[in-house]
Amino acid sequence: MALKNNNVFDCSIIDMSKINATTGNITVLENGVNVPFDVKRVYYLYDVPSGEERGGHAHYELEQYIVAASGSFDVILDDGVNQRRISLNRPNLALHIVPGLWRELDSFSSGSITLVLASEIYDEQDYIRNYTEYLKLKIKK
């Protein structure tokens, strides 16, 4: 399978805006409205121990939105040439990660919740979990 030729600058932070009131805020995510892919799966990370790292993989096809639904953490994007470290700390901001990029997550605050909206169902065949292999596939492009 070919790895998509995207780079870290193809990823962007989307301000999803919020419906706010003195009683609290609501942020809405809708397929085709403020999410540019059809959401097939939603999952969330929580109870991540202090100092832990997650991610450490790339996807062939899957794209995703990552939201700090609570607390904060950093996402490190890597396309084999460039790296970007992006801090997420507001529930109305989503990081859109396009396919073909290596990502790691770290600096999780206590009690943080990482909400992920994914364009595909879970499929281990879509993952590249070895960074050396990722670089080889990326350089072939």
Q: Are 131 and 125 in contact (CB under 8 A)?
A: no
Query: Is 59 an annotated catalytic residue?
Result: no
Residue with Cβ nearer ligand TYD (57 or 84)? 57
Residue with Cβ nearer ligand TYD (103 or 138)? 103
Question: Where on the chain is the footprint of ligand TYD (CB under 6 A)?
Answer: 41, 43, 45, 54-55, 57, 122
Minimum CB separation of residue 19 from ligand TYD in Å reads 29
Give 92's DSSP letter: T
Q: Which of 4, 41, 54, 57 is catalytic?
A: 57
**Tokens 């892919």 — which residue?**
37
**Tokens 């790691």 — which residue?**
104
Minimum CB separation of residue 124 from ligand TYD in Å reads 7
| Phi, psi (deg, nearest 5) at residue 10 | -80, -5
Q: What is the DSSP string of 102-140?
A: EEEEE-PPTT-EEEEEESS---GGGEE--HHHHHHHHHT
Minimum CB separation of residue 43 from ligand TYD in Å reads 5
Residue with Cβ nearer ligand TYD (23 or 50)? 50
Catalytic residues: 57
